[in-house]
Amino acid sequence: MSIDARLQTYGKVFENWGIREKIGQGSGGKSAVFLLKRKNLTYEETCVMKVVNIIEQRGSYNETASSLRRDYEEVKRQLCNAAENEVSLMYELRGSGNIVNYLDYHFEEWEDRISFGVDLLIRMDYLSSLGNLIRTRTLSENEILRIGRDISNALMNCHARNIIHRDIKPDNIFYDQYGAYLLGDFGISRMLENSKRAETRTGTEPYAAPEQFAGGYDERVDIYSLGLTLYQLANENRLPFADSEFVKPGDIQRRLTGEDLPKPQKAGEALSRIIKRACAFRREDRYRTASELKAALEALETREEEREERAVQRGSYDTIPALQSEGFKKNPGAEVRPEPKTREMPGTEPEADCVALAREYQEKGDFEKAVLWLKKGVALGNREAMYELALSYKDGKGVPKEDEVALNLLLNYLGKETDEWKSALAKFRIGQIYENGYGGKKGRKEAERWFQESAGQGNPYAMKKFRNGKLVKEKP
């Protein structure tokens, strides 16, 4: 029986959590990931459940010969102990910086008409995968630096406990709603115990260090794999020597024989040097520790921030014609585009970077600088910047609170937004503006209309606001 067929019993394992849908599956059908939700009084929580098949035996347990049952029980005990050690390892790392949290776990024994066995159920935070992200867009150098820094920090926490991850790649890196990157999937990690060298080769071949194939290695294999991951991010989603996103055996062979890696196409000289040192062929030539790699990335990040700050102080972004136009001042939601030369201005960044930089300043609490970057993004035609700038005016962060400006921005944002979820969120924000008093007596009816439209597009937050055809007033 497949994991999917056993779901009816798994839905009751974690109290009050219901299984909504399957969102991922491992190779061979031996693992799967499901979305879980739980309703509270005023909101709905979300997390995921990973199901891993620990052991499966054909036949009926009661009809199996006693000697075979004893063998099965011994193997089951060993495998379950090993799995519990992995979970305990993750609990030890819980709360450590930039590592996915395991929230709960349970071993479930099962039997059907043709087989019996044990599954491990792990409940963990619901996060988005970097692997999925890079299949949809190219990352800026600032984002690559942040990923390198965050995952280096995760490795520092692992290596301090003598844990080698051994399978770092984009699909095992996740990010949360605040823009932090986290290392997950420790399914093949191991404790080094008293030895400082591991002797078995595991990992994903396109990202594995050369010494992993030779059989003796240490924690520097993680530095190498992280270096290759950063290489891919800075090379249009292609690993060294590959002419597409698909890696051929010959590409791997060239890397494993020590051929010098080409410069990543989208990396500046400084970032390229860091990446190539991290994935040097000889481990003696790499960064010795994850903290060394993190320090190098942070130093480059600091130089970039200083350059951006000097540009802001020079007023480079205030000289963008679109931001100075009367049309923009009267209607900040107008979708204005600068002349081509604006993109060439010294000290500016591509439009995709504007939102990323704004979020960095928001994380630091510097909302005024965040607004500068968002305004620049709007001037360059970045729709995400328009949405974020609307929230800044709505909440009065970095600018005076201006409901009318926020409303104009959101309405302009909706004008061409085709993504249903983003559209639903924007409509929910418009509903909030009206609900909070904008528009006087007519505001409540407008709030109802916008919440109803958002709820109709599947927004659970709007569904709580608009129930049974009317606006629900929340208790204070």
Largest CA distance in the chain: 87
In angstroms, the CA 105 to CA 431 distance is 39
Is 167 a known active-site residue? yes
- Residue 155 to residue 229: CA distance in whole angstroms: 14
DSSP H helices, 315-419, are: 321-324, 326-330, 351-364, 367-379, 383-395, 403-416
Phi-psi region of 6 (alpha: psi -120 to 50; beta: other; left: phi over 0): alpha
How many angstroms separate the CA atoms of 109 and 107, rounded? 7
Strand 190-191 versus strand 181-183 pairing type = unpaired
Separation CA 294–CA 184 (nearest Å): 18
Q: Which residues contact 363 (CB under 8 A, 6 or more apart)?
A: 178, 179
| Catalytic option among 167, 171, 185, 251 | 167
- Contact (Cβ atoms closer than 8 angstroms) between residue 336 and residue 327: yes
- Long-range own/partner contacts, residues 441-449 (CB < 8 A, 24 or more apart): 444/471, 447/471
Residues designated catalytic: 167
